[in-house]
């Protein structure tokens, strides 16, 4: 109420100004919200990702993360629908190459499995399946090492973050590295991990890659989410690429894989840390049989080396030979120079490796009285 002359009259309020203020505040809030959405919140998955054209190979986006908190990422990831329609397990894959090429591919795959999933067999197999799926898909390189280290020359934007974020400077134990290599061998020999189907992408549930909106979530393994392209490029028909069987060396693996170091002309006894401690490489004395180019190698092994490293030594010395028999002793006085060995010498053998490509056979065995193995199938029979 206000006075107008002597008579009190009702106060009439002009809401025009207030309405303008409210509209301005709403506009500013909308802009700020949109900016916030652009910085991460907008990456809530679309209910139906758009399938790329079937006649154009889609680009493989790099692993770049939206700036959201772990809690927000988990909440947003949980809202992504799990697509089960059309889920198909991958066909078994057998690496076509042999010798050093196969061993280098094995070490590339093992590195991805170990550094992406840690020392966990199930997680490693899931990662290994994604790598193999990518190698078969036309959107990715056509070799195992090419897939794993795609984009690793960049400081950011690599496909697997461990290849460009400095993670390879860390060292896992010799035993963990060998377990990863064994798992990689299984994957390259026809082993599959059906739970992730034809997934070509994955991430942990506490991050939010920018590409999440454009793909279909098809599997969950512990804290990892697995994705495929919608439409044709996520169907079995798209996984038609022939995978190379001649993987070359990768410089970033030289410090932990002697096979990559040798192919690059780098010494295997020089690394950021002592090579024997870093990769468990055994020091050897090669017998006359190998020096003469024969298929049987008699070797003195370093008793202090990790027993898993004997496999690396055998693969390095056997090279590309289709047939190779490798036998090693840690006791130099009992190491023979030919197959004409005594029963005592044979019983003292510490490790053996036999490869016969013609028969499709490859086996590594340890003397379990000298080196205990968790899997008794790896023990020499006495």
Instruction: Please say if the pLDDT value at position 371 is more than 50.
Output: yes
Instruction: Please say if the pLDDT value at position 317 is more than 60.
Output: yes
At residue 17, the pLDDT reads 52
Q: Are 173 and 232 members of one domain?
A: yes
At residue 16, the pLDDT reads 52
Q: Are 136 and 88 members of one domain?
A: yes
Burial class (CB in 10 A: 0-12, 13-18, 19+), 78: exposed
Q: How far apart are CA 218 and CA 195, in angstroms?
A: 9
Higher pLDDT, 207 or 273: 207
Does residue 51 lie in a domain region?
Answer: no
Query: What total number of domains does the chain contain?
Result: 3
Does residue 210 lie in a domain region?
Answer: yes
Q: What is the mean pLDDT of residues 245-271?
A: 78
Does residue 345 lie in a domain region?
Answer: yes
Q: Are 21 and 89 members of one domain?
A: no
Cβ atoms of 267 and 241 within 8 Å: the answer is no
Instruction: Please say if the pLDDT value at position 15 is more than 50.
Output: no
Does residue 316 lie in a domain region?
Answer: yes
Q: Are 287 and 140 members of one domain?
A: no
Q: Tell which residue, 309, 306, 312, 288, has the closest CA to residue 298.
A: 288
pLDDT bin (cut points 50, 70, 90) of residue 115 is: very high
Q: Are 174 and 286 members of one domain?
A: no
Q: Are 231 and 102 members of one domain?
A: yes
Does residue 294 lie in a domain region?
Answer: yes
Q: Are 28 and 75 members of one domain?
A: no
Does residue 232 lie in a domain region?
Answer: yes
CATH number at residue 115: 1.10.10.2520
Q: How far apart are CA 90 and CA 92, in angstroms?
A: 6
Which alpha helices (DSSP H) does 195-291 contain, by range? 258-263, 275-279, 288-291
Average pLDDT, the chain: 79
Q: Are 100 and 171 members of one domain?
A: yes
Instruction: Please say if the pLDDT value at position 110 is more than 80.
Output: yes
Higher pLDDT, 374 or 157: 374
Instruction: Please say if the pLDDT value at position 29 is more than 70.
Output: no
pLDDT digits (tens, 9 = 90+) for 2-12: 333 344 444 34
At residue 14, the pLDDT reads 52
Q: Which residue has the tokens 């909106």?
A: 213
Q: Are 106 and 166 members of one domain?
A: yes
Cβ atoms of 39 and 4 within 8 Å: the answer is no
Q: Are 95 and 211 members of one domain?
A: yes
Burial class (CB in 10 A: 0-12, 13-18, 19+), 104: buried
At how many degrees (to 10) do helices 309-318 and 99-117 cross?
Answer: 150
Phi and psi, residue 229, nearest 5°: -70, 145
Does residue 273 lie in a domain region?
Answer: no
Q: How far apart are CA 376 and CA 95, in angstroms?
A: 27
Instruction: Please say if the pLDDT value at position 235 is more than 90.
Output: yes
Does residue 268 lie in a domain region?
Answer: no
The whole domain housing 14 covers: 2-41
Which alpha helices (DSSP H) does 52-98 contain, by range? 70-78
Chain-centre distance of CA 69, in angstroms? Answer: 25
Q: Which two tokens stand for residue 59?
A: 């680009």
Q: Are 23 and 94 members of one domain?
A: no
At residue 267, the pLDDT reads 60
pTM (2 d.p.): 0.61
Instruction: Please say if the pLDDT value at position 13 is more than 60.
Output: no
At residue 51, the pLDDT reads 84
SS3 94: strand
Higher pLDDT, 233 or 294: 233
112-116, 186-190, 321-325: segment of lowest average pLDDT = 321-325
Instruction: Please say if the pLDDT value at position 200 is more than 90.
Output: yes
At residue 281, the pLDDT reads 37
Cβ atoms of 215 and 49 within 8 Å: the answer is yes
Instruction: Please say if the pLDDT value at position 59 is more than 60.
Output: yes
Burial class (CB in 10 A: 0-12, 13-18, 19+), 98: middle
């Amino acid at each position: 109420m206000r006075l107008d002359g002597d008579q009190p009259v009702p106060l009439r309020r002009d809401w025009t100004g207030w309405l303008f203020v409210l509209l301005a505040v709403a506009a500013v809030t909308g802009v700020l919200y949109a900016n916030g959405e652009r910085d991460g919140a907008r990456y809530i998955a679309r209910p139906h990702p758009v399938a790329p054209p079937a006649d154009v190979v889609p680009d493989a986006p790099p692993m770049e993360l939206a700036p959201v908190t772990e809690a927000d990422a988990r909440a947003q990831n949980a809202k992504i629908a799990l697509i089960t329609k059309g889920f198909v397990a991958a066909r078994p894959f057998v690496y076509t190459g042999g010798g050093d090429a196969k061993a280098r591919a094995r070490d590339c795959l093992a590195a991805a499995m170990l550094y992406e999933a840690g020392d966990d067999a199930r997680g490693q197999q899931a990662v290994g399946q994604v790598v193999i799926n990518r190698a078969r898909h036309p959107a990715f390189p056509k070799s195992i090492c090419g897939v794993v280290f795609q984009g690793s020359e960049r400081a950011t934007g690599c496909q697997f973050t461990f290849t460009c974020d400095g993670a390879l400077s860390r060292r896992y134990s010799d035993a963990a590295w060998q377990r990863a290599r064994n798992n990689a061998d299984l994957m390259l020999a026809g082993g599959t991990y059906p739970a992730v189907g034809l997934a070509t992408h994955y991430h942990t549930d506490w991050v939010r890659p920018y590409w999440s909106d454009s793909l279909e979530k098809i599997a969950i393994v512990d804290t990892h989410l697995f994705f495929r392209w919608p439409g044709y490029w996520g169907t079995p028909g798209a996984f038609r690429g022939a995978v190379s069987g001649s993987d070359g060396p990768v410089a970033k693996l030289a410090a932990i894989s002697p096979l990559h170091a040798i192919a690059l002309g780098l010494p295997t006894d020089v690394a950021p840390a002592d090579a024997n401690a870093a990769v468990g490489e055994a020091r050897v004395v090669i017998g006359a049989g190998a020096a003469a180019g024969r298929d049987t190698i008699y070797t003195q092994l370093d008793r202090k080396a990790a027993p898993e490293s004997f496999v690396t030594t055998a693969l390095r010395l056997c090279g590309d030979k289709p047939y190779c028999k490798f036998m090693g002793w840690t006791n130099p006085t009992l190491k023979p120079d030919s197959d004409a060995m005594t029963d005592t010498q044979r019983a003292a053998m510490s490790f053996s490796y036999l490869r016969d490509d013609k028969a499709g056979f490859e086996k590594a065995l340890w003397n379990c009285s000298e080196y205990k193995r968790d899997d008794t199938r790896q023990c020499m029979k006495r």
